[in-house]
């Protein structure tokens, strides 16, 4: 890249920042902001970027990282839990959308291969936009949110076979049967590689890398796995993105999946921004004005076809009509994977430049409409579709399918109102033990493999990774926690994690530090309470001392609360003028005990003057002003003391009095 391109890149990204800030006020997705920036700066508008090919090269990296992250977030266990919805509903939605679109496109004059390929493009919806909106609205766990997420997962998966079939649709195969068998063989080889790598090789490699707690080494390892897999599939005649997907799939089954996803996420976000900017540069904004009826008409038609196809696919699975309609509306846009697939179509000749322009314009319109439609889902179902499907008709349709009413309940268990423990060292383990004893659910975030495994053995919800990483915090559901405890040794990392946690939650954050000098920085970062080990030890010592002096428990607790409430200012030797005295304790914190102390006096040979005498004759209270609290005799303690009790050799007397009176008594007993 030359200096001119560096300047162009800075201009485009700066433009993207401005547009995204505007879009945020309009509550539009960032994806649309990047596309809009590309449209404005591209050769069809202002022409600030002339070498679109260089941006497309960066965009190719974005596609690789996109498939890699999708693979890492793809869980076989998660897929199995929603298997029927994924495979039946997703397959039906894809089949219906592809068939309807293909028939329409063929009727409009496209040959069947190109028409089917166009059906592939229209089938795919936007995972990035829909899931983000569902999360922001808190609807991920609703029935329609779970079903929509499941269908999106299936769409992400079928991109892979679509990419593999596209060259055959383009007629690049002379022997389709042979090529299909070869393709199946390659896929089986990849599946075996995924199984072996995910079961044996990669987990051991990542565990060995993680033991060193070297973040740079972990990043390099993850990136090498991603690009080596992409290179391997490319050498097999498959796409780079396919290899990245399988590499992510291998990592998804390891304990380090969340940690790896969080590390790759910044690279993914950066290069995906280039991808969407490059897509925007391909769009000619004039198309919206020169052919408005074609563009807007096709956009409406695409959204209608996808809504109906998704609605029917969900309804036949015996879900209520209202739920099926919400799913259909949520899935009516064309997604980012369609852009990836369209590039393959361009290279194989299935998609012409003109049709590609129209496809991009229609896709952008459908994506831009999605946020507004999803904000008004209930109104659209009730007022718009209610005109064609009155409530009585919906009830009859539900009765025909014998819908399962229980789907209206949330089935997915998510950690909520729990405590998140960051760092499973000794302090973290003690907190977890206390939480489990009190029947409080807790999640543990730990970067050390051995400690993470120990937490798992304790039956805790464990997220392996660095808590300064947003993705790791999301997996621990920190946004729904009541308390977050940060107990790690690294002072700088503690402050960073505290700030990151505070940006995601309003939970009460308790931070454990080693030294008091770290208090202010963590409070400024968002902690509610900071507990330094050095002063907590001091508090424990003087707590025990005061108890020995018979200071009332209530007074001791008030003193401890006072010291902690003022951030240990008393122990830190702060200037009294700098301490807020509004909540100071009363001056007489130990009423009635001024000048008194507890002492022990052994009755040995040197003090044999009182051996055999009764306590009444000794008269400790009258002669010395001393109170006898207890007598320790032959391993037992006597607390019920009468005046006729005799003092015996070897007794240990517990006395309460002034220092002077106790010294005088000790002198007289010699």
For the stretch 564-602, pLDDT in tens is: 666 555 555 454 444 444 434 443 344 445 566 667 778
Q: Two tokens at 186?
A: 């390659």
**β-bridge pairing 627-633 and 596-602:** unpaired
Is 345 buried (19+), middle (13-18) or exposed (0-12) by CB count in 10 A?
buried
Closest to 649 in 3D by CA, of 600, 603, 602: 603
Residue with tokens 């507004």: 372
- Whether 550 has a pLDDT exceeding 70, the answer reads no
- Where, residue-wise, is CATH 3.40.50.720 in the chain? 419-513
As a dihedral over the C-alpha atoms of residue 414, residue 416, residue 421, residue 424, rounded to 10 degrees, the angle is: -30
Is residue 198 within 8 A of residue 249, CB to CB? The reply is yes
3 state DSSP class of 6: helix
What's the rounded Cα separation, in Å, for the pair 315 and 402? 10
**Phi-psi bin for 580: left (phi > 0), alpha (psi -120 to 50), beta?**
beta
What's the rounded Cα separation, in Å, for the pair 561 and 190? 62
Which residues are within 8 A (CB) of 319 and not within 5 positions of it... i.e. 6 or more apart? 143, 147, 327, 403, 404, 407
Q: What is the pLDDT of residue 328?
A: 92
- Which contiguous run of DSSP H or E holds residue 199? none
What's the rounded Cα separation, in Å, for the pair 347 and 577? 76
Angle between helices 112-123 and 336-348 (to 10 degrees): 160
3 state DSSP class of 654: strand
CA distances from 421 to 357, 479, 480, 620 (A): 51, 13, 14, 56
What's the rounded Cα separation, in Å, for the pair 7 and 29? 26
- Whether 406 has a pLDDT exceeding 60, the answer reads no
Closest to 254 in 3D by CA, of 453, 518, 520: 453
Residue 248 pLDDT grade (very low, low, confident, very high; cuts 50, 70, 90): confident
Cα dihedral across residues 443, 449, 453, 455: positive or negative: negative
What's the rounded Cα separation, in Å, for the pair 375 and 148? 15
Q: What is the pLDDT of residue 75?
A: 58
- Whether 100 has a pLDDT exceeding 50, the answer reads yes
Find the angle CA(153)-CA(155)-CA(161) to the nearest 5 degrees. 120
Which residues are within 8 A (CB) of 230 and not within 5 positions of it... i.e. 6 or more apart? 64, 240, 241, 242, 243, 244, 247
Q: What is the pLDDT of residue 93?
A: 92
Q: Per-residue pLDDT tens for 286-321? A: 888 888 899 999 999 999 999 999 999 988 888 888
3 state DSSP class of 135: helix
In CATH terms, the superfamily for domain 419-513 is: NAD(P)-binding Rossmann-like Domain (3.40.50.720)
Q: What is the pLDDT of residue 295?
A: 92
What's the rounded Cα separation, in Å, for the pair 380 and 374? 9
**β-bridge pairing 596-602 and 529-532:** unpaired
CATH fit for domain 3-388, picks 1.20.1530.20, 3.40.920.10, 1.10.3720.10, 3.30.1280.10 = 1.20.1530.20
Q: What is the pLDDT of residue 581?
A: 41
- Which contiguous run of DSSP H or E holds residue 125? none
What's the fold here for domain 596-668? Answer: Alpha-Beta Plaits (3.30.70)
**β-bridge pairing 529-532 and 627-633:** unpaired
Q: Per-residue pLDDT tens for 172-189? A: 666 666 666 776 777 777
What's the rounded Cα separation, in Å, for the pair 470 and 504? 8
Which residues are within 8 A (CB) of 426 and not within 5 positions of it... i.e. 6 or more apart? none
- Where, residue-wise, is CATH 1.20.1530.20 in the chain? 3-388
Q: What is the pLDDT of residue 55?
A: 63
Q: What number of other Cβ atoms are within 10 A of residue 399's Cβ?
A: 9
Sheet strands side by side (includes 636-638) = 596-602, 652-658, 627-633, 636-638
Which residues are within 8 A (CB) of 448 and not within 5 positions of it... i.e. 6 or more apart? 210, 211, 213, 424
Is residue 122 within 8 A of residue 305, CB to CB? The reply is yes
**Maximal CA-CA distance, the chain:** 123
Between 638 and 539, the more confident residue is: 638
Q: Two tokens at 34?
A: 């990047």
- Where, residue-wise, is CATH 3.30.70.1450 in the chain? 596-668
Residue 668 pLDDT grade (very low, low, confident, very high; cuts 50, 70, 90): confident
Which residues are within 8 A (CB) of 501 and not within 5 positions of it... i.e. 6 or more apart? 420, 422, 467, 473, 478, 484, 486, 507, 509, 526
Residue 206 pLDDT grade (very low, low, confident, very high; cuts 50, 70, 90): confident
What's the rounded Cα separation, in Å, for the pair 284 and 287? 6
Is residue 8 within 8 A of residue 53, CB to CB? The reply is no
Considering the chain, what is the average pLDDT of its residues? 77
Percent of the chain with pLDDT over 70: 77
Closest to 357 in 3D by CA, of 253, 286, 411, 422: 286
């Amino acid at each position: 890249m030359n200096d001119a391109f560096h300047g162009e890149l800075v201009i485009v990204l700066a433009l993207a920042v401005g547009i995204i800030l505007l879009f945020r006020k309009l509550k539009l997705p960032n994806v649309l902001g990047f596309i809009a920036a590309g449209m404005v700066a591209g050769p069809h508008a202002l022409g600030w970027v002339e070498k679109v090919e260089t941006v497309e090269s960066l965009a190719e990296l974005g596609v690789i990282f996109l498939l890699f992250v999708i693979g890492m977030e793809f869980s076989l266990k998660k897929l199995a839990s929603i298997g029927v919805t994924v495979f039946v509903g997703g397959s039906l939605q894809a089949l219906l959308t592809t068939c309807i679109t293909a028939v329409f496109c063929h009727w409009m004059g496209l040959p069947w291969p190109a028409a089917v390929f166009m059906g592939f493009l229209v089938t795919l919806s936007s995972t990035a936009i829909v899931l983000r909106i569902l999360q922001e609205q808190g609807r991920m766990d609703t029935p329609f949110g779970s079903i929509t997420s499941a269908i999106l997962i299936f769409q992400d998966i079928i991109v892979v076979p679509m990419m593999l079939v596209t060259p055959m649709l383009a007629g690049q195969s002379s022997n389709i049967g042979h090529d299909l068998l070869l393709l199946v063989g390659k896929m089986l080889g990849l599946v075996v590689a995924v199984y072996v790598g995910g079961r044996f090789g990669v987990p051991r490699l990542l565990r060995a890398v993680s033991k060193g707690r070297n973040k740079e080494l972990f990043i390099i390892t993850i990136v090498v796995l991603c690009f080596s897999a992409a290179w391997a599939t490319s050498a097999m005649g498959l796409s780079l993105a396919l290899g990245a997907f399988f590499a992510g799939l291998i990592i998804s089954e390891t304990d380090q999946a969340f940690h790896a996803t969080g590390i790759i996420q910044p690279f993914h976000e950066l290069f995906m921004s280039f991808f969407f900017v490059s897509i925007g540069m391909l769009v000619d904004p004039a198309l919206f004005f020169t052919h408005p009826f074609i563009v807007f008409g096709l956009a409406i038609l695409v959204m209608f076809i996808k809504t109906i196809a998704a609605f029917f696919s969900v309804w036949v699975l015996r879900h209520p009509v209202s739920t099926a309609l919400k799913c259909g509306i949520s899935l009516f846009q064309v997604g980012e994977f369609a852009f990836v697939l369209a590039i393959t179509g361009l290279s194989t000749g299935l998609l012409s430049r003109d049709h590609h322009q129209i496809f991009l314009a229609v896709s952008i319109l459908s994506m831009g409409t999605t946020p507004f439609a999803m904000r008004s889902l209930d109104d659209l179902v009730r007022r718009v579709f209610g005109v064609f499907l009155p409530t009585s008709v919906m009830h009859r349709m539900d009765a025909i399918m014998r819908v399962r009413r229980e789907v209206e309940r949330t089935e997915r268990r998510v950690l909520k109102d729990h405590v998140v423990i960051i760092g499973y060292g000794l302090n973290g383990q003690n907190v977890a033990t206390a939480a489990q004893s009190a029947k409080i659910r807790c999640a543990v975030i730990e970067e050390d493999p051995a400690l993470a495994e120990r937490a798992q053995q304790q039956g805790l919800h464990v997220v392996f990774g660095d808590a300064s990483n947003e993705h790791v915090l999301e997996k621990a559901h920190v946004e729904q926690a009541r308390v977050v405890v940060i107990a790690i040794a690294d002072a700088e990392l503690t402050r960073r994690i505290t700030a990151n946690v505070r940006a995601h939650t309003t939970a009460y954050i308790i931070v454990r530090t080693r030294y008091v000098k770290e208090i202010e920085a963590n409070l400024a970062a968002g902690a509610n309470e900071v507990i330094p080990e050095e002063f907590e030890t001091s508090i424990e010592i003087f707590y025990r001392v005061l108890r020995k002096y018979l200071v009332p428990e209530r007074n001791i607790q008030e003193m401890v609360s006072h010291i902690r409430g003022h951030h240990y200012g008393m122990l830190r030797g702060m200037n009294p003028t700098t301490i807020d005295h509004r909540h100071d304790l009363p001056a007489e914190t130990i009423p009635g005990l001024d000048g008194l102390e507890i002492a022990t006096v052994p009755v040995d040979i040197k003090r044999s003057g009182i051996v055999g005498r009764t306590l009444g004759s000794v008269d400790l209270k009258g002669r010395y002003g001393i109170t006898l609290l207890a007598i320790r005799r032959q391993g037992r303690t006597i607390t019920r003391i009468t005046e006729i009790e005799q003092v015996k050799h070897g007794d240990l007397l517990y006395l309460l009095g002034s220092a002077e009176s106790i010294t005088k008594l000790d002198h007289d007993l010699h």
